[in-house]
Amino acid sequence: MNYYIIIPAHNEEKFIALTLESLANQTVLPKKAVIVNDNSTDKTEGIVQAFAKEHPWISLVNKTSEAIHLPGSKVIQAFHKGMEAIDDQYDIIVKADADLIFPNHYFETVIRHFENDAAIGMAGGFAYIEKNEEWLLENLTDKDHIRGAFKAYRKACFEQIGGLKPAMGWDTVDELLCKFYNWKVVTDESLKVKHLKPTGANYNKASRYKQGEAFYSLGYGFFITAVASLKLAMRKGKPLLFIDYIKGFWKAKAAKKPLLVTDEQAKFIRRYRWKKMKEKLF
């Protein structure tokens, strides 16, 4: 199976060479890797160009956007720019961050999952971060959720869910829509991806409100949002984030912001979330 990989990158000179090197060392190379240089002011562009000279499957696309980093929308807009630069001759499309080190067999294993089960729509590994010179499982990692830093989609699934939505919550709604359309989401804990930069390290308060807005846009409703907000705030080790998330939810509700899903999909999502909560409780 052929896989294409798109990597949005903004000021990633510290990490992107490590990411590209780990791709070049894969036991199964990507047919195409498009790095979208999104308004970088450092040496990101030059580093990618140097790799592209050595590896013809790597290409660079430059994009100009606002410097402000709002989670979700900016990165997926860059991903869409990368999609414009590829053809449709792929079996698997991958969205990845520019601060990762993949194990050498990562994509060979992901491909094997897709080949062994035609019902699998998405697949990915587990994220690890470095603390005190040890690589530890990132606390946002969950066996039922593929981290937004590395997402691999079967082409048919990717097209059926409508691609990736340029809004915070994109990396949750994609999996929920997979389940809505009866695709399987598979995580493989043997695939340990080194995540070099903690998620959300540069998010400001407006961005934190966006998380609550994202829960609203997924059609969660208040009670599920409250549970999800508390769980996420505790996982991040910052309980007071719960307040920001709830404020974001009510602001979105008051503004009657459009959902990322249809009414039918929202009903399915609420039923699914209730089911998962009951399973964990009982």
Q: Given this model, what pLDDT does residue 200 score?
A: 54
**Residue whose pair of structure tokens reads 């590395």 in the numeric block:** 150
In this structure, are residues 247 and 211 in contact, taking their beta carbons and an 8 Å threshold? no
Q: Give the C-alpha separation, 245 to 266, whole Å.
A: 19
pLDDT of 235 over the 90 cut: no
Q: By percentage, how much of the chain surpasses pLDDT 90? A: 79
Q: Is pLDDT of 140 > 90?
A: no
Q: What global pTM score does this model have?
A: 0.90
In CATH, what is the architecture of 3-195? Alpha-Beta Complex (3.90)
Amino acid residing at 157: C
Beta bridge partners of 134: 131
Q: Residues 6 or more apart from 265 whose CB is under 8 A from it?
A: 176, 177, 180, 219
Task: Report d(CA 172, CA 45) in Å as an integer.
Answer: 30
Of 12, 107, 14, the C-alpha closest to 57 is 107
Domain borders along the chain are: 3-195, 205-281
Which range (73-87, 163-177, 191-205, 213-227) has the least confidence? 191-205
pLDDT digits (tens, 9 = 90+) for 31-49: 999 999 999 999 999 999 9
Q: Which of 245, 170, 239, 171 is nearest to 205 (CA)?
A: 245
Confidence of residue 199 (pLDDT cuts 50, 70, 90): low
The C-alpha angle with vertex 169 and arms to 166 and 170, in degrees rounded to 5, equals 45
